[in-house]
Structure 1
Amino acid sequence: MAIENTLSHVMGLVVSNKREQLSPELDFLDVYADQLNFRNVFSARIQNQSGTFVNQLEVIASIYNEDQTESLYSTEASGMQMVPHSNFAFPIPLNGESFVPGNYVLHLQANSGELKWEWTRSFEVDDHISKTFNRQDITIPS
């Protein structure tokens, strides 16, 4: 009887054929009512369209009622990184509150070093979506 150990190692590589620095290009794709771990969130989908990493990414997001100037929900995150040609849904939590059908406005700001992007987008949460997600949210009493 013998013991055999098999080991492996994975190493990530970044390969390029040009020396010129590419500049990150972020784009805002969509905002919508969503859930994360059975909790209500608004998701803002951000895309890195460039062939380079976006380092030290900071995102600041605020949700407003369409006809109001005071934000209902806001969040920020920093120290993030995006790989080339990728996208992700940035969550804006409702902190245990229910979705209310209506028209909203998202103001989204992203920063990476000296680069800055800003977007503002109107969107709607309909009655069907709000009821469905509110029933599934584990932090909302039924």
Structure 2
Amino acid sequence: MRNVKISIYGLFLIALFLINPLHVKAANMDYTISANIPENQIDKSQTYFDLKMKPGQEQELTLNVANSGDKEITLNIIPNVATTNQNGVIDFSEENRKIDSSLIHPITKLIKGEQKVKLAPKEKKLVTFKVKMPEEKIQGKIVGGFYVYKDEAESNNGKSEGGVQITNKYAMVIGIQLIEEESTISAELKLNTIQPSLINYRTAVTANLQNIKPTFVNDLKVVAKVSKKGSNEILHQTTKADMAMAPNSNFDFPISWDNQELLPGKYILDIVATTKDNEWKFSEEFEISAQEAKKLTEEAIEVKKAPDYLLIGGIIAGAVLLLILIIVLVIIAYKKKKRRLEMEKRRLA
């Protein structure tokens, strides 16, 4: 069996800001990282950077890193934009994801460059980054995080089970939240592209939801229903609650196709998205092309094929024609036999 590498990320979220924190303990963690909280910290009880700054202000952010193990390690410390993943969870690990179109000042432009830090056994170091706010005045929050993980070769302490190579890769995040003034901004959601897709190799349709405001969306619930255009029958429905969205971010909300094959045609997607304070309703038409339907259905697993009504209709039509043909032949044979008997009677008379 071929070797397959599976990376399992134990993501230690030092700060999840306004959403529920995730507590994870890793037995194999051999390094620590913490933020040195500066004077302009808004909430000094927090362990992430929660800073109030001025337009054009430049400031150093320092991190304490320590190697508690017996081997030299190399840590990658990367400033990342806060994004929203497909599960409706705020994510700090996506280094190469395209910046959301509504995000004017991503953290990666305010804090430039990643750092590689080598640590000898039991060594501690101070790591410094510089942050510079935009010159113009901004509203809302700029959010990101320092994403920290060991070099892949050093993290490869997994084992092979049945030909599957399992690699445990642990990571940590120190959150960053920057504001210039404390103000209340209401979230605003948009519905963008709707398209057929595969989620874990199963048929689905995804609807791109976008938070276009520099504020968090918390306790988000989405109810999505799909019907055929011109029909009120609900073909597929997905409901998911307890989600969150980062400021100025988007994600593809998946609508399960219930393991049915994707069929070409025009559909209507109705979405109701709610939080404690807001509700958004969307109703959009979308189309699945024959080419998309064929390609994705062929690549999907556990697909329940829809009945081929054209084939069934052809079989029924063929059976009816065959029955008619048999009846006609029987009638012709009967008439021939009757005519022959009448001629035989005349001959004997």
Taking the aligned partners of 1:68 and 1:15, their CA distance within structure 2 comes to 48
Taking the aligned partners of 2:122 and 2:301, their CA distance within structure 1 comes to 45
Taking the aligned partners of 1:33 and 1:10, their CA distance within structure 2 comes to 33
Between 1 and 2, higher relative CO (CA 8 Å, sep ≥ 6) is seen in 1
Shift of 1:17: 1.3
Shift of 1:32: 1.0
Q: When the two structures are superposed, what TM-score results if normalisation uses the length of structure 1?
A: 0.92
Checking the alignment, whether the CA contact within 8 Å between 2:261 and 2:304 is kept in structure 1 is no
Rg (Cα) greater in structure: 2
1:111-137 deviation per Cα after TM superposition (whole angstroms, max 9, x unaligned): 111200000001111111000000000
- Which residue, 83, 99, 105 being the options, matches 2:262? 99
Q: Per the alignment, do residues 14 and 127 of structure 1 end up closer, same or farther by CA in structure 2, a change over 3 Å counting?
A: same
Task: Provide the alpha-carbon RMSD of the alignment.
Answer: 1.9
- Which residue, 274, 279, 282 being the options, matches 1:111? 274
Alignment gaps of 5+ in structure 2: 1-68, 71-120, 125-147, 149-171, 306-349
1:29-76 deviation per Cα after TM superposition (whole angstroms, max 9, x unaligned): 121111111111010000000000000011110000001101000011
Regions of 4+ moved over 2 Å: 5-11
Q: Per the alignment, do residues 124 and 11 of structure 1 end up closer, same or farther by CA in structure 2, a change over 3 Å counting?
A: same
Shift of 1:24: 0.4
Sequence identity percentage: 28
Aligned residue number for residue 62 of structure 1:
225
Q: When the two structures are superposed, what TM-score results if normalisation uses the length of structure 2?
A: 0.39
Taking the aligned partners of 2:281 and 2:271, their CA distance within structure 1 comes to 6
Q: Per the alignment, do residues 98 and 6 of structure 1 end up closer, same or farther by CA in structure 2, a change over 3 Å counting?
A: farther
Alignment gaps of 5+ in structure 1: none
Aligned residue number for residue 74 of structure 1:
237
Taking the aligned partners of 1:6 and 1:26, their CA distance within structure 2 comes to 47
Taking the aligned partners of 1:61 and 1:141, their CA distance within structure 2 comes to 22
- 1:22-101 residue pairs with structure 2 within 5 A? 22-101=185-264
Q: Per the alignment, do residues 113 and 22 of structure 1 end up closer, same or farther by CA in structure 2, a change over 3 Å counting?
A: same
Higher fraction of strand: 1
